[in-house]
Amino acid sequence: MTAGAVTDRDVVLGFLADMAGRRISGALEALATDVVYTNVGLPTLRGRRQAARVLNLLQRPVFGFGVEVRSVAADGAGTVLTERVDELRFGPVRARFWVCGRFDVSDGRIILWRDYFDNIDVLKGVVRGIVALVVPAVQRPLVPFER
């Protein structure tokens, strides 16, 4: 690889950073026009336009997204796996839960985005987020990640 070349890992971490930073146009630019986006257990979205419907919610003041990347593995052949803690914000409530993500990258764009999570863990994250409104110590701050 040449110096300064953008890796598949860079594409994925940049995408997550753009979402967390509310730079939705940058996040959308990282997606291929025919991207397949699946939150396992929910309907699959096909194409950048459908994915944009979800990502554009992050531009509303009442919603937000944060991420703590715990580990990243890239095979050098287009697949990037992430283990992370995602934070979904609904007004003052910050629901945090574990997510494993698979991203397939081709020609510098994400062509597959598939997130796996446990619905019970999501529910626990919502409950912790609500309790943290009264007892902030129940929820530690997210650890910011650097690309």
* Residue 141 pLDDT level (bands cut at 50, 70, 90): confident
pLDDT at 5: 84
Burial level of 137, CB count in 10 A (0-12/13-18/19+)?
Answer: exposed
pLDDT at 10: 95
pLDDT at 94: 95
pLDDT in tens, 48-107: 999 999 999 988 999 999 999 999 999 889 999 999 999 999 999 999 999 999 999 999
Nearest residue to 16 via CA among 27, 5, 4, 8: 27
CA distances to 9, 36, 75 from 78, rounded to whole Å, are: 9, 15, 7
Global confidence as pTM: 0.90
Spell out the CATH class of 8-136. alpha beta
Scan for tokens 């979904």, then name that residue. 88
Active-site residue 115, yes or no?
yes
- Cα–Cα dist 4/131, whole Å: 45
Ordered by start, the domain boundaries in the chain are 8-136
Query: Which residue of the set 8, 18, 104, 115 is catalytic?
Result: 115
Query: Which residue of the set 8, 18, 86, 104 is catalytic?
Result: 86
